[in-house]
Structure 1
Amino acid sequence: MSTTDSAATAGPSCSTEAYKAIEKAAAGRRCLYVPSVLEHAAELLTALWATGEKHNVSPDEWAWMTDLAGGTLDVVARQYGKTPDPERTHEQVSALRAHLIAALTSKEIGLAARLGGPRVGVIVDRGPDTPPGGFHGDADIEVRIYSDGGWDFAFAQQGASVMSIVAPASEAGASQVAEIIRAFVRGELGNVFRR
């Protein structure tokens, strides 16, 4: 399994300004990010800014030439995404789906979720405030993790748009994915598929 979950356990060592810059960059992307990934990117951005300052380049000066926060987020997010060769076994993918179901159905999250089948992800029942989706607007949500990639979700309907969730492929990552799915099901994120 991937080792990119280490940022979540080490605790953030980033500046507030860097975290805000990363959040702003994330808002403009066509995927969702869990907090540990945002912290990981903010830690790197903090370090890049510190290196720049050693060379008399202030954080504000980076904006003249590049979107350093956006580039930093993209570089970090790549570590959690598609890999050229499968890096997870079927057993590891199954364990991650089981962790996701446990997190979704926990007392803290409180959603109804079940395994959708061998080639299908985890199916999560929609709630009364879930944005409409599917042919009749009443489709449940499907969440997947791949052997050669990361997490994503969509309405459980053929041909539905897919939204990536940048998160570690770990038990902690599954818990953070469950938090995002809860927010989506409860309508707190709006319809992210229409960004």
Structure 2
Amino acid sequence: MDTATDTAPEGPVFSTEAHAAVEKAANSRRSLYVPSVLEHAAELLTALWAAGEKHGVAPADWGWTTDLAGGTLDVVARQYESAPKPERTVEQVLALQGHLTDALKELGLTARPGSPGVIVNRGPDTPRGGYHGDADIDVRIYSDGGWAFSFAVDRASVMSIVAPASQAGASQVAEIIRAFVRGELGNVFRP
């Protein structure tokens, strides 16, 4: 075997069409997705389309019967939204919160430990939220689930962020929070 010519590609392998289909499906969901999750779903969708083609089913043929891209995204997202059994320990949750805090600070945001999440100071372009429209942002990783954020007030709406429960996932969550704080996402909490 010649290792110079037989190298495996690094990272996920997916078609641009599959990625576009997954992104379109993500836009119709009530969660936000980090890039690595979208790539994971696109890789699976590419493989499903390839399996279908082996049986004479073109990728476009799936549309008349099912939302294969959306179903693929939902199946992949479930892997990130449910904690492994047993649940994460307090130490694991605190470590992930620490990674998130560090990543947020690296992006120029002011973040501090909260109870039980990480509190991020709002910016001038952050959508209005909270009783007076001036609430900071509360970002959490659950011991029995995934990432989420809300305005840091009682009974605030919660938006899930589908991301790995890892240091790399925390960095990707931080990117989404930065976009929210800068007003780039708009108010994702509006129906």
Which TM-score tier does this pair reach, normalised by the shorter chain?
over 0.9
Q: State the Cα deviation string for residues 98-118 of structure 1 (Å, max 9, x = none).
A: 000000001xx100000013x
Measure how far apart 1:189 and its partner are. Answer: 0.2
For residues 172 and 87 of structure 1, the distance between their equivalents in structure 2, rounded to whole angstroms, comes to: 20
Secondary structure of 1:194's aligned partner: coil
Q: Which residue of 2 aligns with 1:93?
A: 93
Measure how far apart 1:11 and its partner are. Answer: 1.4
Q: Please say if 1:15 is aligned against 2:15.
A: yes
The 1:164/1:137 distance shift into structure 2, 3 A limit, reads same
* Number of residues of Structure 1 aligned to a counterpart in Structure 2: 182
Give the counterpart letter for 1:35 in structure 2: P
- Equivalence map 1:112-123=2 (5 Å): 112-117=110-115, 120-123=116-119
Q: Which residue of 2 aligns with 1:41?
A: 41
- Equivalence map 1:1-150=2 (5 Å): 10-83=10-83, 85-106=85-106, 109-117=107-115, 120-150=116-146
Secondary structure of 1:13's aligned partner: coil
For residues 41 and 85 of structure 1, the distance between their equivalents in structure 2, rounded to whole angstroms, comes to: 23
The 1:22/1:82 distance shift into structure 2, 3 A limit, reads same
Q: Please say if 1:158 is aligned against 2:157.
A: no
Q: Which residue of 2 aligns with 1:174?
A: 170
Q: Which residue of 1 aligns with 2:5?
A: none
Give the counterpart letter for 1:54 in structure 2: K
Larger gyration radius, structure 1 or structure 2: 2
For residues 129 and 143 of structure 2, the distance between their equivalents in structure 1, rounded to whole angstroms, comes to: 27
- Alpha-carbon RMSD across the aligned residues, in angstroms, is 1.1
| Large movers: runs of 4+ above 2 Å | 82-87
Measure how far apart 1:87 and its partner are. Answer: 2.4
Measure how far apart 1:83 and its partner are. Answer: 4.0
For residues 178 and 86 of structure 2, the distance between their equivalents in structure 1, rounded to whole angstroms, comes to: 28
Measure how far apart 1:145 and its partner are. Answer: 0.3
Answer whether contact 1:104 1:111 (CA < 8 A) is retained.
yes
For residues 121 and 83 of structure 1, the distance between their equivalents in structure 2, rounded to whole angstroms, comes to: 17
For residues 84 and 187 of structure 1, the distance between their equivalents in structure 2, rounded to whole angstroms, comes to: 33
Measure how far apart 1:188 and its partner are. Answer: 0.2
